[in-house]
Each structure stands twice: as C-alpha cells, then as structure tokens.
Amino acid sequence: MIKQAIIPLAGLGTRLLPLTSVFAKELLPINGKPGIEYILDECIEAGIKEVIFVISKKKIMIKNYFYNDKFYKDIIKKKKDPRIVNEYKKILKYKKMIKFVFQDKPLGTGDAVLKTMRFIKDKYFLMLLPDDLIIKKNCSKSMIAIHKKFNSSVMASMSVHKKEVARWGIYNVKKKIDNANFIIKSVVEKPNPKHAPSNKAVIGRYILPKTIFNKLKNLKPGKGGEIHITDAIELLINDNEKFIGHKFFGKYLDCGTMKGYINSTMEIAKI
Ligand code: G1P
C-alpha cells in the first residue's frame, strides 16, 4: 500500500515573479483556494496518510499557514463564525497529516526527495510536484491502482509538442501495455528537441521505490546544475526497475508559469 507522499516546496518560484518575491507560490489562491490544498485533497482521496513537505527557511510561510492555531482560536472565541470554525477544522485535518523537512538550498527535485529518506517507511511512496494540478480525475489514485496491478513504479505522462520537449522529462517506450500505460525504456531530463527520444513528457506525479535513495545519494548535478529525480529514475531503469508511464485522464493545469496560473483559476471556476 502507498501511504506516504512527498511534496517538494522549496523552489524559488521565479517563473511567478513578482508574486513570489514575498509569497510562497503554493499558497497563491486558485479560484479562492491555495494551490497546495488541491494537492493535499488529491492525496487524501487517494488514501495517503502522511505527507512530507520539503520546505526551506524562505518558505516558512507554508508551515505558518498550517500552524496558526492561536490566531484561529482567538478569532473563533470573538466572532463565533461557523465559516471560520469550518476553515480551521479543515486546516487541522491537513496539519495532522503533514510532516516538515528542510532543504535549505534549492538543489533540485532529486535533492528534495533525498532529504526525506529517513522518514520513508514502505517500499514505494508517492511524489507530487505542486506546480502541476490535475483536475477532474484523481491522477494519484489511478497511478496507485496501476502500481498495485503491475507492482511497479509509475510516472504520470502526457504527449507534448515536439518543440516543447526541452521543458520536460521525456521518455521513450519499451512496451505498450494498453492505450494509457507504457513500460519505459529510458528517460531524459529536458532534452534538446533535436535529440529527444519522443514527445512523451513526465508530469509531476511519481510512484517511486525506496531504492531510489541509493541512487540519489551518489548522484552528481545534471541539467542546469540541479540534482534531478529524472536522472535517478534513469539509473533505476538501467538496473531493471520497472517504470510505467501512465497517460492520465484528468485535465492538466500548469500552475508554475504566470500564464498557466491565471488559466488554472478560469478552468477550475468552470467546474
Ligand atoms: C520537473 C521535472 C521534469 C518534469 C516536470 C513536470 O521539472 O524535472 O522532468 O517533466 O517537473 O512538471 P520542473 O517543472 O521542476 O522544471
């Protein structure tokens, strides 16, 4: 069973400047609700019991959002507003399942995952990248079902335009299982379109084996000087770990860019 999830949250959010100069992008509202709460709701609905937030000192605002008890207690005492009581209850429910781990330098997704090593209990865990919202169908839940069926690692995937491959991790297929699931032959971080193995991109939902920590411990920085989870995954594939690319059915919203962030509010408001 997959019971733990990791969410890397120490990124600087430069693509969303100036909003992120004083604000954590994951707390920015999307149709009136912080982006991170959509991710937490996806986890809860998928049966996750513990979520590990990887934050930095600069992103301490995220911890404060969930640890603001005195403020809520005082205001509830004064106002007795049932709406505020319900909001506080919701925050308490999230808080109970969150553990905080620090990554003080933004050295990449791989480094963020490595920081959680001592907390991971089971053979496999889930990782969600908060810039990627997937609405209308719970992607993590579908991936957990695939993991159970094939006893393998899984990554969410989507086809992208050939000229945009340099924005993503890109994989090629060893074997097609069905129309939505593919056994991965190899994966490369943000390839040049000229050398990209395909147009199948990795989206920010991963079911990873605990053995990935052995790879991450010795991994050298890759593209852009960062330690990428993609590079550790490629090493595991070379060691015969089975990775499935799962073409998800939900709608993908890229909340990590200004254009995508604005669009995500409009898309969610339509539901
Ligand atoms: C990260 C991963 C990349 C993946 C992408 C999905 O990139 O490194 O492989 O395709 O997330 O959103 P980032 O968005 O951090 O540049």
Q: What is the pTM of this model?
A: 0.96
Which residue has the CA at smallest separation from atom 6 of ligand 1? 203
Count of structural domains within the chain:
1
Atom of ligand 1 nearest to the CA of 108: 15
Q: Does the beta carbon of 205 sit less than 6 angstroms from any atom of ligand 1?
A: no
Residue 15, helix vs strand vs coil: helix
* Pair of tokens at residue 123: 């053979």
Residue 104: predicted pLDDT: 87
d(CA 9, CA 255): 13
d(CA 244, CA 80): 50
Q: Does the beta carbon of 231 sit less than 6 angstroms from any atom of ligand 1?
A: no
The neighbour count for residue 101, using CB atoms within 10 Å, is 18
Q: Does the beta carbon of 253 sit less than 6 angstroms from any atom of ligand 1?
A: no
Q: Is the pLDDT of residue 230 over 90?
A: yes
DSSP class of residue 223 equals G
Q: Does the beta carbon of 157 sit less than 6 angstroms from any atom of ligand 1?
A: no
Give residue 110's identity as a one-letter amino acid code: G
Residue 24: domain span: 4-269
Strands 4-8 and 50-55: parallel
Give the residue carrying structure tokens 């991936």. 143
d(CA 206, CA 6): 10
d(CA 202, CA 248): 11
For the stretch 95-112, pLDDT in tens is: 999 999 999 898 999 999
CB 131 within 8 A of CB 204: yes
The neighbour count for residue 191, using CB atoms within 10 Å, is 17
Atom of ligand 1 nearest to the CA of 203: 6
Query: Which whole number is the average pLDDT over 22-40?
Result: 96
| String of DSSP letters for 157-192 | EEE--GGGGGGSEEEEEEEEEETTEEEEEEEEES--
For the stretch 244-256, pLDDT in tens is: 999 999 999 999 9
For the stretch 155-183, pLDDT in tens is: 999 999 999 999 999 999 999 999 999 99
Atom of ligand 1 nearest to the CA of 229: 8
Q: Is the pLDDT of residue 188 over 90?
A: yes
CATH number for the domain spanning 105: value is 3.90.550.10
Mutate to test the pocket of ligand 1, among 16, 129, 203 (most ligand atoms within 8 A of CB): 129
| String of DSSP letters for 76-127 | HHHH--HHHHHHHHHHHHHHHHEEEEE--S---HHHHHHTTGGG--SSEEEE
